[in-house]
Amino acid sequence: MRKRPSGTALIEIAEATEAAADPDAPNANYVAAMIRNACAIAERQAEGGHDADRAEAAGLHALLGQAGAVEDLNRELVRLIRDGTAPVGTHAHLVAVNRGELAESNPRYLARLDDGD
């Protein structure tokens, strides 16, 4: 499940930050890099659309044997993990979801992992 803030919310705070930014500030480069990063994450989320969400829902459905909203199913999965009764396949499911999130939040990191770096 995508972490909050969402891409749309990231754009909002990035725009507000840019409007308030002092180009002569000693950390101006750092702020500019943060703005670029926020916009890139938002862009990748927009491109991905609801595919990741649907894949996660399907994975949760298969894992838990029940249908429902992704958030509710994740809440159920959390409960099972904490109780020590996570279904077989939980780790593989979490890895698949994580790869989807990493592809949006930091694709370079994912590429380095896949290269065995």
CA–CA gap between residue 51 and residue 83 (Å, rounded): 30
* Buried-exposed string 30-49: b where 16+ CB fall within 10 A, e elsewhere: ebeebbeebbbbbeebeebe
- The verdict on 50 binding other proteins (CB under 8 A) reads no
The single-letter code of the amino acid at 83 is D
Task: Pick from 52, 57, 59, 77 the residue near other proteins by CB under 8 A.
Answer: 77
| Angle formed by the axes of helices 90-105 and 51-64, nearest 10° | 170
CB of 67 to other proteins, least distance (A): 17
8 A C-beta contact, residue 55 and residue 100: yes
Task: Pick from 41, 52, 57, 59 the residue near other proteins by CB under 8 A.
Answer: 41
CB of 94 to other proteins, least distance (A): 5
Give the residue from 9, 82, 76 showing the smallest Cα distance to 39.
9
- The verdict on 74 binding other proteins (CB under 8 A) reads yes
- The verdict on 97 binding other proteins (CB under 8 A) reads yes
Binding site for other proteins (CB under 8 A): 1, 3-5, 9-10, 13-14, 16-17, 22, 25-27, 31, 34-35, 37-38, 41, 71, 74-75, 77-78, 81-82, 84, 86-91, 94-95, 97-99, 101-102, 105-106, 109-110, 112-113, 117
